[in-house]
Amino acid sequence: MKNRPYRIHKKHPPQKKGCDESIEETLKKLQKPGSKGSDYRERSLKIHGLICAKCGREFDEKTRNLLTVHHRDGNHLNNPPDGSNWENLCIYCHDDEHSRELLGNYLSDQKE
């Protein structure tokens, strides 16, 4: 009992491991639906600031809901982490930007 080596590499926490994994998976599943659309918005606001890229109007924490994220290439699935496809536009400029398109779906998706 006394010459027990210290460098035991125990490799059997079987029950615990299974437990951790299931929690992680649960968290992943929980995060997926939430990051659907609101995630890139927050990021874009952080990267580009609370200001409309078109009219220069500034916003703060209270009025930030008037600021929306425009996708330069029009592809809402194209969300590069550096924000190169995003443009922060106030809802008026954004509406203007999409005046030729159907913005209804996009705006209703932003409202929460």
Residues that bind Zn ion (CB under 5 A): 52, 54-55, 70, 90, 93
Nearest distance in Å: CB 103, Zn ion: 7
Which three-class secondary structure string do you get for the chain? Answer: CCCCCCCCCCCCCHHHHHHHHHHHHHHHHHHHHHCCCHHHHHHHHHHHCCECCCCCCECCCCCHHHEEEEECCCCCCCCCCCCCCEEEEEHHHHHHHCCCCCCHHHHHHHCC
Residue 73 or 112 having the CB closest to Zn ion:
73
Residue 22 or 78 having the CB closest to Zn ion:
78
Residue 2 or 73 having the CB closest to Zn ion:
73
